[in-house]
Chain A
Amino acid sequence: MTALDTPAVEAAVPPATGLSATLRHARHVVTGNPITGFSFTLFILLLICALFGPFLVPYDPLATNTAVALKPPSLHHLMGTDQLGRDLLSRVIVATRLDMAVAIFSVALVFVLGGISGIAAGYFGGWTDRIVGRLSDTIMAFPLFVLAMGIVAALGNTVTNIIIATAIINYPLYVRIARAEANVRRNAGFVQAARLSGNGEIRILLTQILPNILPIMMVQMSLTMGYAILNAAGLSFIGLGVRPPTPEWGIMVAEGAAFIVSGEWWIALFPGLALMLAVFCFNLLGDGLRDIVDPQRRT
């Protein structure tokens, strides 16, 4: 276009730059889209439960009371009680911390490992690319949940190992995204220009490539959080990782499973719903984040 000759017109548009613009845009996205706003509220709620859960609950999540075993939801027990008379509401809230911690730590782990090796593979190519590619191909050759089962079974039945297994099975995904994004940019005009300006390769990687890939990786992080929660809950559902009586959503659904056929639905339903809401929240949040990151929607 010929805006070259009309700088006066362009000058009327206030230049939106820096952090404040990003925050303003973020606020616009959160308040402008009711679904993103909802998921953001949900996220805050989950965060509160995770941080302060044990101080908020009406009952001790581990205290058994056979006198009130298998009671449906009532005013005393909003979500009912399980076969040992434990208060389900308390257990569901307290479980938030464990489930969220597993998801956050595993995603953070794979974000760092997968991100670094993927970007290096895409940018440098050559043997770096071959090694990283072979590693992620080998992981991809397994059905991912099955591999996670194998890893936890072999490493031992602990929460740490669930985190490690979840990180490992997400590794190829992060590598693929980071690699592809780095690869399309390795010979982009602005990277060539940076070479002409006397930047070394590592510096180009850090100042030119990384800032452009980070937002895409952040979106990925939010989307895989949901998958990480599902994966961890799935593992404990089949008896790996967390052991009863620790409150954890996957185990609680597993405990409630036996009572479904006899009609005691609440034992499995409420932890299942909590699980679903958490995953739902992260998926919606991921979509919302994409809107923030997407420069097309930024004016």
Chain B
Amino acid sequence: MRSIVLKRLATAIPSLLGVIVVSFLLTRVLPGDTASYFAGPAATPEAIAEVRKQLGLDKGLPEQFARYAVDLVHGNLGNSLTTGQPVVTEIANRLPASGELTLLGLLIALSTAVPLGILAAVHEGSWIDHLCRVIVTTGVSLPVFFTGLLLVYIFYFQLGWSPAPLGRLDVFYTAPPQVTGFYLIDSLIARDFETFRAAFAQLILPAATLAIFSLAPLARITRGSMLAVMGSDIVRTARASGLTSKTVILTYGFRNAMLPVVTTLGMVFSFLLGANVLVEKVFAWPGIGSYAVEALIASDYAPVQGFVLAMAILYVALNLMIDLLYGVIDPRVRLEA
């Protein structure tokens, strides 16, 4: 097992290199003068040249890239212009908020989409199948920021069930002592159920928004692969040997059908990490997505670059985990490695 993990890690290296090169190119090669951004709008040409020299932008590209890489290795992503804080610290502080939101969204999506897809496939053509189709088509058509606003209007303004969409906790509560950075878990560790409830109330709408968005691809692929497996020789053989429908559907059907679903998870994560940015803006969520948006509006470069890099590294790591998970489920992959 360890050799497989090492091999998969090795395959991630080209992706990571690509990510670093692209994030470097995004700021250095393409039009737009970083030095003018740093020097500010009112700077004289001399001041801009001075800044350029300070930043090493007057050097050749390979040297710039080397410096950039060295900085990266030291965990230095530069400072934010607007706050003056190191980008790494700010991202690290805000990452748990985004992580908690994304994971809960995925959890809701998975626990709804997979059973829905299975039911739709097992009862093909029934009302549940049609429901699945409607949900899938609507889900992929709804802009994620629009869903968020719709939910806010219904549950906050009309029904008054949820608190104002302003961050992770209502102002009356204090954050639980940090252990994992996830408020839900930390408040449970601190046995502070009141805070747990408050944090959950804030979290549920944005998480549901993300879930609705990622429900569609998951349900669609579950239904499709389940249908394919249920019509396959594997299931026919299992049925012909009299296995109970529970065994047939779960052990013979579902486990095989899960293989494409696991593969799709990578794509769903890509969607989720992108949608996260929009959802955080709608719900004023203090995660790295809204951090990047604020920086974008202020033309503050380092945080945007740091954000793109952080997201890409996170995504590569997630894909790595998905690959390993795939290996656990499918023995064919295990032996090939």
Contacts and interface: CB of A to CB of B under 8 A. Distances in A.
A141 B18 CA distance: 8
A275 B292 contact: no
Contacts of A32: none
A240 B277 CA distance: 13
Contacts, number: 152
Given A149-B296, A154-B26, A156-B32, A143 B273 contact: yes
A134 B18 contact: yes
A90 interface: no
Interface string B252-291: 0000000000000000011111110110011000000000
B142 A276 contact: yes
A260 B311 contact: no
Contacts of A250: 143, 145
Contact of B149 (A140, A142, A268, A277): A268
Contacts of B140: 226, 279, 283
Contacts of B153: 260, 263, 265
Interface string B38-79: 000000000000000000000000000000000000000000
Nearest to A148: B274
Given A253-B145, A272-B149, A238 B315 contact: no
Interface string B8-41: 0000001110110111001100111000000000
B141 A272 contact: no
Given A272-B150, A283-B140, A284-B137, A257 B15 contact: no
Contacts of A256: 149
B293 interface: yes
Contacts of A245: none
A145 B296 contact: no
A154 B30 contact: yes
Interface string B211-253: 0000000000000000000000000000000000000000000
Nearest to A277: B141
Nearest to B272: A143
A155 B30 CA distance: 6
Contacts of B270: 140, 142-145
B15 A155 contact: no
B281 to A, nearest CB: 6
Nearest to A229: B143
Contact of A138 (B19, B31, B142, B278): B19
B97 interface: no
Interface of A is mostly: helix
Contact of B275 (A142, A145, A279): A145
Interface residues of A, number: 47
Contacts of B138: 280
A134 B274 CA distance: 22
A290 to B, nearest CB: 13
B104 interface: no
Interface in A238-258: 238-240, 250, 253-254, 256-257
B296 A239 contact: yes
B23 A137 contact: no
Interface in A263-299: 263, 265, 268-269, 272, 275-277, 279-280, 283-284
B18 A137 contact: yes
A230 B272 CA distance: 14
24 contacts: A138-B15, A141-B16, A141-B315, A142-B311, A143-B274, A143-B311, A145-B273, A145-B278, A147-B22, A149-B292, A150-B308, A153-B296, A154-B32, A234-B145, A238-B281, A250-B145, A253-B145, A260-B153, A261-B156, A261-B165, A268-B146, A276-B142, A276-B143, A283-B140
10 A-B pairs with the lowest CB-CB distances in the bound complex, closest first: A145-B274, A138-B18, A143-B273, A272-B146, A280-B141, A141-B15, A154-B26, A279-B141, A150-B308, A154-B30
Interface of A: 134, 137-138, 140-151, 153-156, 226, 230, 233-234, 237-240, 250, 253-254, 256-257, 260-263, 265, 268-269, 272, 275-277, 279-280, 283-284
Interface of B: 14-16, 18-19, 21-23, 26-27, 30-32, 137-138, 140-146, 149-150, 152-153, 156-157, 164-165, 269-275, 277-278, 281-282, 292-293, 296-297, 304-305, 307-308, 311-312, 315-316, 319
